[in-house]
């Protein structure tokens, strides 16, 4: 008996008439009778005897029903769980991301995933993506320069050049591109390399050039770098997306040829199946990364 036949048989056993079985299953009464006849013919046994308007199960039907009770119980559990599954499916995806990736990177992926004109709901957290994933607050993390972590499955979805930012009129502004050596001779606004993956990458580049990485001011985010360079001067190092967003504010930027590009990483908890709506959005983010590559 396949599952469709099992459902017909189980319903007949519970309700006792072909009319009520047709109503429960949403098919016609003649259709129920025809399916029952085909099933009995294929099994080679009679399952029911008609008594008035009711169908009385045979001994064989009672035995089959007893054997099939675990199947019917499982079917009932699945049916009872479906409303909760539908509710979870309708809940918005929660993305934890850094501000610049929300402003400059995420939009095309959202459009491709059907969020244009907000036909779907979404929650975006501007916090610490790693911590939000660990705390199970967010479904997807989006961040630059996240180092490998055993609890996350990570995908590289893009990259950004790291550039030097400075005030207009700075003595290095006349150059088309800079090196770590050029930057090292000026006060540096950058990141704590022991806390920030981006800071660690910049420190490695400095050390690779035989230079000491000694920021005059350390900050947590790229936007902080630009704001403080604009206010107090010096040189900052940020991703190109952030630098472009500050161009109109009086900040200019120059490529730094001996600092490698920084990766943009999308990640989620490892060995944990994603909701279908979350997986679809992640796939769109990955597709945007592939197209940019």
Band of residue 293 on the pLDDT scale cut at 50, 70, 90: low
Query: Which residues, at least 6 apart from 237, have a Cβ–Cβ distance to it below 8 Å?
Result: 162, 163, 164, 165, 183, 188, 190, 202, 225, 256, 259
pLDDT at 263: 92
Please report, for residues 56, 215, 229, 237, the alpha-carbon distance to residue 219 in angstroms, rounded to integers and kept in the order given.
79, 10, 11, 11
- How many CA atoms, within 13 angstroms, populate the side-chain half-sphere of residue 80? 6
35's tokens: 């399916």
Spatial distance between the Cα atoms of 19 and 104, rounded to a whole number of angstroms: 61
- CA 91 from centre of chain: 13
For residue 104, what pLDDT is reported?
86
Residue 132 pLDDT class (50, 70, 90 cuts): very high
Residue 85 has pLDDT above 80, yes or no: no
Q: Which pLDDT band holds residue 292 (cuts at 50, 70, 90)?
A: low
Closest alpha carbon to 170 in 155, 186, 154: 186
Average pLDDT over residues 56-82: 90
User: Given this model, what pLDDT does residue 78 score?
Assistant: 86
* Residues 182-227: tens digit of each pLDDT: 999 999 999 999 988 899 999 999 999 999 999 999 998 888 999 9
Model confidence at 252, in pLDDT bands (50, 70, 90)? very high
Confidence of residue 12 (pLDDT cuts 50, 70, 90): very high
Q: Average per-residue pLDDT in the chain?
A: 91
From the list 225, 242, 161, the residue with the least C-alpha distance to 190 is: 225
Q: How far apart are CA 32 and CA 47, in angstroms?
A: 14
CA distance 138 to 83: 23
CA distance 106 to 141: 12
pLDDT at 288 over 70: yes
Report whether pLDDT(261) > 90: yes
**With 90 as the cut, is the pLDDT of residue 162 above it?**
yes
Percent of the chain clearing pLDDT 90 (strictly above): 66
- Answer yes or no: is pLDDT of 168 > 60: yes
| Res 45 pLDDT > 60 | yes
Provide the angle, in degrees to the nearest 10, between the axes of the packed helices 3-15 and 18-25.
130
pLDDT digits (tens, 9 = 90+) for 134-151: 999 999 999 988 878 899
Using only C-alpha atoms, the chain has a radius of gyration, in whole angstroms, of 32
Does the pLDDT value for residue 289 go beyond 80? no
This prediction has a pTM of 0.70
Bigger pLDDT: 209 or 80? 209
Residue 127, pLDDT score:
83
Answer yes or no: is pLDDT of 54 > 80.
yes
Q: Does pLDDT of 65 surpass 60?
A: yes
Whether 177 has a pLDDT exceeding 70, the answer reads yes
- What is the secondary structure of 51-111 as a DSSP string? ETTEEEEPHHHHHHHHHHHHHHHHHHHHHHHHHHHHHHHHSPEEEEE-HHHHHHTHHHHHH
Residue 236: its pLDDT value, please? 97
């Amino acid at each position: 008996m396949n599952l469709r036949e099992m459902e017909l048989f189980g319903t007949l056993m519970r309700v006792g008439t072909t009319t009520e079985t047709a109503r429960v299953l949403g098919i016609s009464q003649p259709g129920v009778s025809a399916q029952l006849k085909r099933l009995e013919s294929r099994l080679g046994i009679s399952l029911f005897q008609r008594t008035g308007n009711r169908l009385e199960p045979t001994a064989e039907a009672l035995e089959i029903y007893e054997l099939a009770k675990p199947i019917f119980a499982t079917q009932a559990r699945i049916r009872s769980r479906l409303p909760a599954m539908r509710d979870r499916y309708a809940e918005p995806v929660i993305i934890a991301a850094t501000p610049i990736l929300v402003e400059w990177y995420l939009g095309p992926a959202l459009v491709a995933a059907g969020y244009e004109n907000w036909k779907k709901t979404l929650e975006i957290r501007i916090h610490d993506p790693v911590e939000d994933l660990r705390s199970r607050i967010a479904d997807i993390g989006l961040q630059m320069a996240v180092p490998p972590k055993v609890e996350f499955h990570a995908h590289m979805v893009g990259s950004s050049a790291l550039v030097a930012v400075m005030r207009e009129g700075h003595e290095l502004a006349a150059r088309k591109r800079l090196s770590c050596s050029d930057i090292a001779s000026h006060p540096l606004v950058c990141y704590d390399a022991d806390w920030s993956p981006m800071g660690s990458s910049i420190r490695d580049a400095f050390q690779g050039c035989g230079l000491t990485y000694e920021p005059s001011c350390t900050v947590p985010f790229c936007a902080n770098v630009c704001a403080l360079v604009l206010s107090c001067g010096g040189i900052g190092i940020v991703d190109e997306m952030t630098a472009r967003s500050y161009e109109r504010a009086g900040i200019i930027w120059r490529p730094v040829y001996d600092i490698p590009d920084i990766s943009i990483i999308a990640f989620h908890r490892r060995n944990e199946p994603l909701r279908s709506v979350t997986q679809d959005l992640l796939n769109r983010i990955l597709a945007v990364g592939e197209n940019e590559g």
